[in-house]
Amino acid sequence: MKKFTIPAALIFIAFGLNSCKKLEEVPSDKDIRMEWWRDAKFGMFIHWGLYAIPAGEWKGEKLEKGKIGEWIMNSLDIDTSEYEKLANEFNPFKFDAKEWVKIAKDAGMKYIVITSKHHDGFSLWDSKVSDYDIIDASPYKRDILMELTNAANEAGIKMCFYYSIMDWHHPDAESPKDYKHQNNPDANWDNYRDNYMIPQITELVKKYKPAVMWFDGEWIPEWTEEQGKDLYKYLMQLDPNLIINNRISKAREGMSGMNKYDDAAGDFGTPEQEILEETSEFDWESCMTMNDTWGYRKDDDNWKSSEQLIENLIDVTAKGGNYLLNIGPMANGEIPQESISRLKDIGDWVKINGEAIYSSSRWKPFKQENIYFTLSKDKKFIYAILTENISEDHIKINGFLPKEDSEIIHLSTNKKVKWEKISDSQFSLDTLKIEDFGVAQTFKIRVN
């Protein structure tokens, strides 16, 4: 229901006046704030909104191959007055928050980030400053964000919200200089920001207490680093435990997602559809689709294999990042079967090998030929994750030695593995000639 929350806007403006100073936080405080996130490693991204209805096709016209479903309004140049009618049809009668959370949990995901509002401007909760939301504009009239938050809390999964700064629906954010389907030359960005966007974000943080606010759509010229810093500072006052991605600022370096300058607002970098080549000192999370689209497209069948997704998780973890893997549910509330089956495969792998992933940190080097390494939180174990079977019965590992007289355990079989010192920095390890190799095999090596 629409009701302006002026106080939130005023608080934000007040911060804005004396802002630009970076939020003062000592590194150890940041370490405490980030601890659960760094341990989590694996999360579910959910892109869900009105765009799931056209699912890549508008009045018989199909999106080109490779175009993403949630951008249909822009890609097919659909007028706001036409697109917004989709809200009358949004009735996901098969949506089951507990089921979604269970699918994420069984896959080994520790947090969920859902699009509370994507670029199309439609909100998945009952926003007090908007009529363009699930309660006021759709026949469904259920607070999707609250149902997911409750289910996630119950399951011990952290609930997080994506929020698009750019908004193709609000008249004051609809400047034609940004996109051709926008048509308000008198758009008043400050009005949108202070009386709509900030109150919406405030509602989300206060009412649902998300663990992460995941911003996007920051590249438009109306948004500046200064506004990003103001918003970061404001949100940290609202909830000092909140974690915020770097897209609150202007520092993101294209799809590689890391910051192109220092002192930008935000806690972690956001490579998109990419995995960093090397590790980074700055926290990062690689977000990725399972096929080519974020929002559901009925004709997108370019699915990555389960093997590829598991190897991505290993690769990201070994390089010290998090992996945020996307699903694009259908308009009726169902998750595509192709996504469910891949998540099940990943879940099966992490059930056995998860201790090499969760709470681990990176080991240098993170990889030696086809062996990835991670280090346990207590630094007692190095995990060697072999991603390709080898014909020999042993592998040589360089750079460290197992603790004297210790045992190496093969996680899939729980068998003890023979090892032999070759030199002060090299040993060989019996790979057991694994017949049913699967995607990757983990060896747990005691080092301290």
Applying CB under 6 A, which part among 59-67, 68-76, 225-233, 345-353 lies near ligand FHN?
Answer: 68-76
Q: What minimum distance in Å lies between the beta carbon of 323 and ligand FHN?
A: 13
Segment near ligand FHN (CB under 6 A); pick from 65-73, 178-186, 340-348, 393-401: 65-73
How many whole angstroms separate alpha carbon 401 and alpha carbon 424? Answer: 7
d(CA 369, CA 423): 19
Q: Is 316 in the site for ligand FHN (CB under 6 A)?
A: no
| Smallest distance from ligand FHN to CB 287, Å | 5
What's the chain's length in residues?
448
Q: Which is nearer to ligand FHN, 46 or 382 (CB)?
A: 46
Question: Does 272 participate in binding ligand FHN (rule CB under 6 A)?
Answer: yes
Residue 70 binding ligand FHN, by CB under 6 A: yes
Residue 238: both structure tokens together: 């609202």
The nearer residue to ligand FHN, 71 or 268, going by C-beta atoms, is 71
Q: Pick between residue 326 and residue 387 the one whose CB is nearest to ligand FHN.
A: 326
Edge-to-edge strands, sheet with 426-430: 394-398, 426-430, 419-423
Stretch of residues binding ligand FHN (CB under 6 A), selected from 67-75, 359-367, 369-377, 387-395:
67-75
Determine if 300 is a binding residue for ligand FHN (CB under 6 A): no
Q: Which residues contact 374 (CB under 8 A, 6 or more apart)?
A: 317, 318, 356, 357, 360, 361, 362, 363, 366, 382, 383, 385
Q: What are phi and psi of 99, to 5 degrees?
A: -65, -45
Binding test (CB under 6 A) with ligand FHN, winner from 120, 126, 167, 216: 216
For the bound state, the minimum distance from the C-beta of residue 49 to ligand FHN, rounded and expressed in Å, comes to 10
* Shortest Å, Cβ 285 to ligand FHN: 10
Stretch in the footprint of ligand FHN (CB under 6 A) among 64-72, 96-104, 258-266, 371-379: 64-72
Is 287 an interacting residue with respect to ligand FHN (CB under 6 A)? Answer: yes
CB of 288 vs ligand FHN, minimal distance in Å:
9
Q: Does 203 engage in binding with ligand FHN (CB under 6 A)?
A: no
Q: Determine, following the binding rule CB under 6 A, whether residue 294 of this chain makes contact with ligand FHN.
A: yes
How many chain residues bind ligand FHN (CB under 6 A)?
7
Q: Select from 66-74, 91-99, 169-177, 415-423 the region that touches ligand FHN (CB under 6 A).
A: 66-74
Q: Check residue 198 for interaction with ligand FHN (CB under 6 A).
A: no
68 binds ligand FHN (CB under 6 A): yes
Q: How far is the CB of 328 from ligand FHN (least distance, A)?
A: 10
| 113 near ligand FHN, rule: CB under 6 A | no
Residues 6+ apart with CB under 8 A from 1: 126, 128, 131, 135, 136
Q: How far is the CB of 198 from ligand FHN (least distance, A)?
A: 21
Kindly tell me which of 68 and 78 has the beta carbon lying closer to ligand FHN. 68
What is the distance between the alpha carbons of residues 346 and 330, in angstroms, rounded to a whole number? 21
Please report how close the Cβ of residue 435 comes to ligand FHN at its closest, in angstroms. 40
Give the binding site for ligand FHN (CB under 6 A).
68, 70-71, 216, 272, 287, 294
